[in-house]
Chain A
Amino acid sequence: MKLYKLMLLSFLLLGVSCKNDKNKSEETEPVAQAETEALPEMSVFQLPSSWTTQEGEDIQLEELRGEVLVMVMIYTSCQAACPRLVADMRNIQKKVSEEANEKTKYVFVSIDPEVDTPKRLKTFAKENKMNNDQWLFLRGNKDATREFAAVLAVNYKRISPMDFSHSNIISVFDKDGVLVHQKEGLGTDDSKTIEAIEEHAID
């Protein structure tokens, strides 16, 4: 009988300790900036995944709260569309006002986490003269990348060891991580994108 109770107890404890852990991790999650308000339902910061930057730092997306995010998914070994996407990002950054740029981060998310190590992302950043803290390069695990793409409605598929096929979409998120604008296609008109950034960056 004792044993039975013991087992029951250990089960209960197990359950309780799991619960505790969960609560703890929720409590200790970093609260970015001075904004302690709950995240909007559609916030991309709801994603639990963690990412590594080109500097080798591990971050949660929520740490980016408080800045407008302009995001695109690429892979560094890409020869065709990605340089165009990179150019599109650079053009947008140039056209956005200085005031808005102070509150904006331009983020590249790799769809090829196996190849795109932080070191490689860093090199890519340097080559493209995007080597300051306005530009962020992120790499997650395969699962997190697939999930992130699902949020962005970016489709991608590895079509050879070297190449991916992917949709070309630049997304703008407001300071709470809510998607507010998407630009589809390469070299397309970016005036709406710039408008969206200006509108959400300057309070």
Chain B
Amino acid sequence: MYRFILSGMCLLMISAGFSQESEMAAIEGGAYIPLYGNDSLPVSVENFKIDKYPVTNRDYQKFLLENPKWKKSEVRALFADGRYLAHWQDDSHLKPDELEDAPVTNVSWFAARAYCKWRGKRLPSLDEWEYVAMADKVSADARKKDGYNEFILSWYERPKSFHQKVGSTYKNYWGVYDMHGMVWEWTSDFNSVIISGETRRDENQDNNLFCGSAAIGSSDLMNYAAFMRYAFRSSVKGNYSIRNLGFRCAQDSNEKENSANEAL
């Protein structure tokens, strides 16, 4: 009997540690018209799941414990630049004035990707992220609402918005927090954004020089808030670590949550 209870407790402990069904929100797929891409053509997004909150400093600390190669002192420069975890005082501690429950930032795309993999998840695609981010508190697509855009634009002007606990901004239609108003977030294909004229030197403006360049353009130039986001994405590289850039993870809808601690 004693044995039985003990093993039961053991199982409970395990399940408490691993199954956090509430960590992600289920997103019902659909079609949306992104700002950049197929020139006003709707893009379809499958059903998927996404973390309700951005990954926090506290979460990231656990990751570092089990994945020492991502510690500040160990990480390779190819995967994270010199600003990586700049707000941490050493390999395992935040600087004193930082919040454990604030979103982790100063993390490169490579690091964010490795974290999600470790959790048995992945980064959301750009379209998935944008799809969830269209929502305000009550509707799935609030992009035409003044209030929605004003909130985002006023955030852009507010300094140090990364210094907040996750969950401090609004809970959106899908039950997801902090898509706007806190930090910008990595997506799996952040490097799919091509602002027209992309050779970065702009010496070739001839449309024929770019495969499909005619299809690139803004489908809604008025949507300045989103334009900023796309422009930002097109300007970063995978090993950049930036103070107001964090991430959250996603998963295909048919995949089970948990399976944490999978080896990379």
Contacts and interface: CB of A to CB of B under 8 A. Distances in A.
Interface of A is mostly: mixed
A11 B132 CA distance: 38
Nearest to A149: B191
Contacts of B263: 18, 21-22
A47 B113 CA distance: 13
B79 A166 contact: no
Interface centre among B10, B212, B215, B237 (most CB of A within 10 A): B212
Interface stretch (A74-82, A99-107, A120-128, A191-199): A74-82
B216 to A, nearest CB: 6
A36 interface: no
A46 B78 contact: yes
A4 B209 contact: no
Given A1-B3, A150-B109, A155-B194, A41 B77 contact: yes
Given A4-B3, A18-B263, A43-B78, A165 B211 contact: yes
Interface stretch (B21-29, B156-164, B198-206, B219-227): B198-206
Interface residues of B, number: 39
Interface stretch (A51-59, A63-71, A129-137, A180-188): A180-188
Given A7-B7, A154-B191, A155-B234, A160 B212 contact: yes
Contacts of B109: 150
Given A41-B78, A42-B78, A157-B194, A146 B189 contact: yes
A150 B209 contact: no
Contacts of B216: 159, 165
Given A4-B3, A159-B215, A186 B77 contact: no
A159 B38 contact: yes
Nearest to B109: A150
B163 to A, nearest CB: 28
Contact of B211 (A2, A78, A146): A78
B138 interface: no
B192 interface: yes
A163 interface: yes
A146 to B, nearest CB: 6
A112 to B, nearest CB: 11
B45 interface: no
Interface of B: 2-3, 6-7, 10, 37-38, 76-79, 109-110, 113, 188-189, 191-194, 198-201, 203-204, 208-213, 215-216, 234, 237-239, 263
30 contacts: A1-B2, A1-B3, A2-B3, A3-B6, A4-B6, A21-B263, A41-B76, A41-B77, A44-B78, A146-B188, A147-B238, A149-B191, A150-B110, A151-B78, A153-B191, A153-B238, A155-B191, A156-B191, A157-B37, A159-B215, A160-B215, A165-B215, A165-B216, A166-B211, A167-B194, A168-B210, A184-B199, A184-B201, A185-B209, A188-B203
Report, nearest first, the 4 A-B pairs whose CB atoms are least far apart. A150-B238, A157-B192, A41-B77, A185-B199
Given A2-B3, A46-B79, A185-B204, 20 more contacts: A3-B6, A3-B7, A21-B263, A41-B76, A42-B76, A46-B76, A81-B210, A147-B110, A150-B110, A150-B238, A155-B234, A157-B194, A159-B216, A160-B215, A163-B215, A164-B212, A167-B194, A167-B198, A184-B199, A185-B209
